[in-house]
């Protein structure tokens, strides 16, 4: 999933590129759908704060445009927190997380940044059930199935809840 630039999905940007799998935008959208499911609908995201702790590289910046677009559509605030390469020094970033206490946190890491982020999240006491992770490298945590995906602009009900075979890595 998701290798290469997300703009490759747009034929006007890369005319002869035909990505068959999802992109990083797809991954970010799946995570937001999961969060909307946790909150029981997209309308419940209004006024919430979602933080993105990301690797400060083109890979790490991939979900930013999509998150900002979704934030403007659904009324939640985004908090963007870059982590410079290689990602072993994150105390200042997690201090901001502790001060701002976002409702949800997306960790978009790579390599050693991931294990450091998990340790720092524990150190500042950020609740584990409020974090979702997309990462490059080899660090993975417990994986779970997404039982419900909430379609946009609808409220959950047995008739309009999608079943997904997708998974999100949760830390």
Structure tokens at 22: 């999802």
Q: How far apart are CA 132 and CA 153, in angstroms?
A: 22
Q: Give pLDDT, residue 135.
A: 66
153: Cα within 13 Å, side-chain hemisphere: 1
pLDDT for res 154: 42
Among 41-50, 105-114, 139-148, which stretch is predicted with the lowest mean pLDDT?
139-148
pLDDT of amino acid 9: 66
Q: With cut-offs at 50, 70 and 90, classify the pLDDT of residue 102.
A: very high
Residue 72 lies in a domain: yes
Considering the domain boundaries, does residue 146 fall inside one?
yes
Q: How many domains, in total, are found in the chain?
A: 1
Mean pLDDT of 3-20: 69
Binned at pLDDT 50, 70 and 90, residue 137 comes out as: very low
pLDDT for res 105: 94
- pLDDT for the residue numbered 24: 81
- Residue 49 lies in domain: 28-170
Q: Is 53 left (phi over 0), alpha (psi -120 to 50) or beta?
A: beta
Q: Is residue 107 part of a domain?
A: yes
Q: What is the pLDDT of residue 59?
A: 87
Give domain status of residue 162, yes or no.
Answer: yes
pLDDT digits (tens, 9 = 90+) for 23-78: 788 888 889 999 999 999 999 999 999 999 999 998 899 899 999 999 999 999 99
Measured over the CA atoms of residue 40, residue 46, residue 48 and residue 49, the dihedral's sign is positive
pLDDT, averaged across the chain: 78
Residue 93 belongs to some domain of the structure? yes
Is position 121 within any domain? yes
Q: Is residue 23 part of a domain?
A: no
| CATH number where 124 lies | 3.40.50.2300
In a domain, 15, yes or no: no
């Amino acid at each position: 999933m998701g290798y290469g630039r997300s703009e490759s999905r747009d034929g006007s940007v890369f005319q002869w590129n035909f990505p068959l799998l999802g992109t990083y935008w797809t991954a970010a959208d799946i995570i937001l759908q999961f969060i909307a499911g946790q909150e029981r609908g997209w309308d419940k995201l209004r006024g919430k704060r979602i933080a993105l702790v990301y690797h400060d590289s083109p890979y790490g910046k991939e979900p930013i445009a999509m998150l900002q677009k979704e934030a403007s559509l659904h009324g939640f605030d985004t908090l963007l927190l870059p982590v410079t390469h290689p990602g072993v020094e994150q105390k200042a970033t997690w201090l901001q997380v502790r001060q701002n206490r976002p409702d949800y946190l997306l960790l978009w890491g790579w390599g050693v940044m991931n294990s450091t982020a998990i340790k720092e999240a524990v150190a500042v006491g950020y609740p584990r059930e409020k974090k979702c992770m997309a990462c490059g490298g080899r660090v993975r945590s417990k994986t779970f199935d997404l039982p419900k995906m909430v379609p946009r602009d609808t409220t959950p009900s047995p008739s309009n809840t999608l079943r997904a075979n997708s998974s999100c890595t949760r830390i």
